[in-house]
Structure 1
Amino acid sequence: MDKSNSATSMWNYLMKKMSCCGVNNYTDFSISEKFKESSQKVPVACCKMNETSPSVHPLDPDCPRNPKPENSYYLTGCYKTMTDLMLGHMNFVIYAVAGVVLMELLATFLAFCMCNGIETYDK
């Protein structure tokens, strides 16, 4: 899979799972050559999905060409959705970062102890 397909797949997955569309909103796709050449205004991933279907099928088949609040998330940007998610889980993020910092400090301390032990052993 080339880089552009990987990025597209990642964005499609993110937009579907986070119920959002583009970084800011659907207008982010207006500069895309792919969307200029097609009749779509938004990717299928911006549409509300039929959750009972194992594959990606929008509830409204006309959604990519005619997005509305009832059939899509076209007005909701992923940046705002992600920042809201991060702010909602800020305690977890702080604890995770603090844990990583403590592990790094412990590893540094143990490395110094090992170096000191090797010097003592060599004498």
Structure 2
Amino acid sequence: LLNKFCYDDKRLFGSIFCVHCNFLQTIGLYSLGVGIWLYLERTDFHELTPTSFSVFSLFHCRPLLLYWCSGLDHLHPLVTGNGRVFDLTTSWDRLQKSLECCGVNNGSDWFYSSRWPSHRFVPNSCCDPKHFENVDSMNNCGKVDNSTLLFQQGCYEVFADWLYHHVAIMNWISFALLIAEVSSIPLCCSFLCYLFLNLSFHRDEYHRCLVEMNDLDAARDLRIRPMDRIGDAAQDP
């Protein structure tokens, strides 16, 4: 009965352990895929993301504080001083093309930038391709005094939504990993207890077998050499 109970308990524990390992592997692969996806997307315009923006987003401190303090104060100087850093220029172009937006609030944020301090120009990435026949016709379109050719929405709200979307994904992944890790603690404790009990059980079985073997050896010696014992008894005074 004890052996059957130990066998059933071992089989049940093994099944639970396998399911939990598969769950951890699935979460790990999913987290790896999301991490690669975020890494590939961050190369487009991650330079425009302020550190405080990401930290506040992680703790779900939403629009008011971010909108008035973190985002605008960080993005507007990048627009006006954009011509001094090529990486930021490339990031802004990719951002505006990908999100179909122009400037922080609107295209006027680009007016009198360091790239054209005396003109009301915007980058070519602000131009809406719907109003042009091909890519070649968009050359120097930002210097045309026609605001209808530009993207009408600013980039801040669109960029904030994009960032919150990515942060939300990472929050859910982190929460799932946290649950998986926390659930591993009682499983590991039960596994250690099972090993300890199983080791104790086998140790007791080993000692019992040794005792039985010694008893068998003693009985066998008694059966093999009975006359020696009788002779020894006869020599007793």
- Secondary structure of 1:105's counterpart equals helix
Q: Following the alignment from structure 1 to structure 2, what is the Cα–Cα distance between the partners of residues 98 and 51?
A: 43
Please, what TM-score do these two structures have when normalized by structure 2? 0.35
Q: Which residue of 2 aligns with 1:8?
A: 89
The structure carrying a bigger helix percent of its residues is 2
- Are residues 95 and 17 of structure 1, via their aligned partners in 2, closer, same or farther at CA, if it must alter by over 3 Å? closer
Matched position secondary structure for 1:33: coil
TM-aligned CA deviation for residue 28 of structure 1: 1.8
**One-letter amino acid of the counterpart of residue 81, structure 1:** V
Once residues 117 and 106 of structure 2 are traced to their aligned partners in structure 1, the CA distance between those partners, rounded to angstroms, is 17
- Judged with a 3 Å threshold, the aligned counterparts in structure 2 of structure 1 residues 67 and 104 are, in CA distance, closer, same or farther, namely farther
Cα distance in 1 for partners of 2:125, 2:169 equals 33
Identity %, equivalent residues: 23
Residue 105 (structure 1) aligned with residue 179 (structure 2): yes
> Partner of 1:35: helix, strand, or coil?
coil
Query: Relative contact order: is structure 1 or structure 2 higher (C-alpha 8 Å, sep ≥ 6)?
Result: 1
Gaps (5+ residues) in structure 2?
1-46, 48-84, 197-237
Are 1:12 and 1:45, in contact at CA under 8 Å, matched by a contact in 2? Answer: yes
Specify the structure having the higher radius of gyration (Cα): 2
Partner of 2:147: 68
Contact map agreement 1:40 1:64 (CA 8 A) in 2: no
Kept in 1: contact 2:106–2:153 (CA 8 A): yes
Give unpaired runs (5+ residues) of structure 1.
none
* Coordinate RMSD, CA, aligned: 3.8
TM-score by length of 1: 0.59
Partner of 2:128: 48
